[in-house]
Amino acid sequence: MLISPAFAQAGEAAAPNALVQLAPLVFIFVIFYFLLIRPQMTARKKHMEMVSNVRRGDTVVTAGGIIGKVTKVLEGDEVMVELADNVQVRIVKTTLSDVRNKTEPAANDA
C-alpha cells in the first residue's frame, strides 16, 4: 500500500471565545446607531422643537407642500393657516414640515 488512510487526530478542540463571536454583532449595532438611529433622533428632536415654537405670522410649509401663513395657534396641537385671501384651514402642528419666515416675538414693554 502506497497510500495510508488518514485518521483524525484525537485531541481536544478549543472552544471559541464568546466575546469573539459577539464582537461582529456589537460592531454592527454601533455602526447602525451612529449612522441611522442617532441622526434620526436628532432630526425628530429638531422637528418637535420647530413645531412647538410656531407663532402667529410665521410662513409655514405643510407636509403636502402647501405654503401658508399662521393666523392663529389653537389649543392643543393645531394651528389655523391662511392659504389665500379668506381661505383658512386647521392643520395639525406635526404635519408642518418647515417654518420659512419666523416672526420675532412681541416685546413686552413694562
- pLDDT tens by residue, 56-101: 999 999 999 999 999 999 988 999 999 999 999 999 999 999 998 7
- Name residue, grid cell 417654518: 99
Are residues 62 and 81 in contact, defined by beta-carbon separation less than 8 angstroms? yes
Distance from C-alpha of 92 to C-alpha of 10, rounded to nearest angstrom: 73
How many Å is the Cα radius of gyration of the chain? 30
Q: What is the CATH number of domain 18-101?
A: 2.30.30
**pTM for this structure?**
0.67
Beta bridge partners of 90: 80
Candidate from 6-10, 40-44, 75-79 with smallest mean pLDDT:
6-10
